[in-house]
Amino acid sequence: MDLHTALTFSLVEQYMQKLLPPTTLSYITPWFDQARTVMSTSSSSLTQWKSKITVIDRALRPLHPQIKTEVQAAIYDGLFNSVQIEVTYEAITKDEGAKTYCINPLGLAIRDQVIYLGCTIRQYKDVRFLALSRVSTAKLLASPSVQLRNFDIYKSAATTLGILQDDKPMELELKVKKLVAKYLAESPISKDQQITVTEGDWSCIKATMPDSQHVRAWLMGLGADVEVIKPSSLRDEFQLLARDLIAKYSD
């Protein structure tokens, strides 16, 4: 194995393990081992590349919730081979205890370090997303899973997990501080973004954006450096949030 291949396997091992099915991981584990050996015994400057790069998340990155190894293996295998799985699952939003279901696995979605399995339960067509960390047992069944026609894992996850508030995009208009405007000029938030310098230290940003929780979290992260002008419904949300925060922090 040459150094470039070893570096590639090292980065795959570091950043992509949770995206790969167990069968694939077990197949390439010897390559991971060989890559580590090559990287540790070479004197080339290429071996230092891993220590010179990192991935920084803008948002808080919680620790990975614990997932039982045998549960993850069974679920990934069931998804990979398109067979039904019997799982015991305890929903976080209900105080009903764990329940056992026969599910049809459809796809995986990862949000905030939590791995979710998109699936249907028994003969029903509505898609549910189960956090793998809340599955206590998982057993592969012999019957093939029932697949949904034209199923899109991204669209389904974005809607079901509360990322998209509405399918229709929104015409966003913001008033932002000069430094924020400079960052946005460098890294636009949409292809149609427009920046107009207004008065003093402020600029106006216009952009077509998805009506999503991600956009709201990004806006909240900017704090007092941004003011939502349009749409009026989003401005109303932030006005209510501001009043709530003032009430909480007023001594």
Question: Looking at residue 96, which CATH number applies to its domain?
Answer: 2.30.30
**Do 171 and 215 share a structural domain?**
yes
**Domain ranges, residue 225:** 164-249
- Give the per-residue pLDDT at 49: 82
What confidence tens digit (pLDDT) does each residue in 133-159 have?
Answer: 999 999 999 999 999 989 999 888 887
- Residue 58 counted as domain residue: no
- Residue 193 counted as domain residue: yes
What is the rounded distance in angstroms from the CA atom of residue 159 to the CA atom of residue 166? 8
Mean pLDDT over the full length of the chain:
88
pLDDT tops 70 at residue 188: yes
Strand partners, 8: none
Among candidate residues 143, 160, 177, the one where a domain is terminated:
160
- Residue 61 counted as domain residue: no
Give the model's confidence band at 232: pLDDT under 50 very low, under 70 low, under 90 confident, else very high: very high
User: In the predicted model, what is the mean pLDDT of residues 162-177?
Assistant: 86
Q: Is the peptide bond before 231 cis (omega within 30 degrees of 0)?
A: yes
User: In the predicted model, what is the mean pLDDT of residues 57-79?
Assistant: 83
DSSP single-letter state for residue 211: E
Share of the chain above pLDDT 90, in %: 51
pLDDT tops 80 at residue 225: yes
**Do 236 and 169 share a structural domain?**
yes
Strand partners, 109: 116
DSSP class per residue in 83-148: EEEEEEE--TT--S--EEEEEEEEEEEEETTEEEEEEEETT--S-EEEEGGGEEEEEEEEEEPPPP
- pTM for this one? 0.69
- Residue 237 counted as domain residue: yes
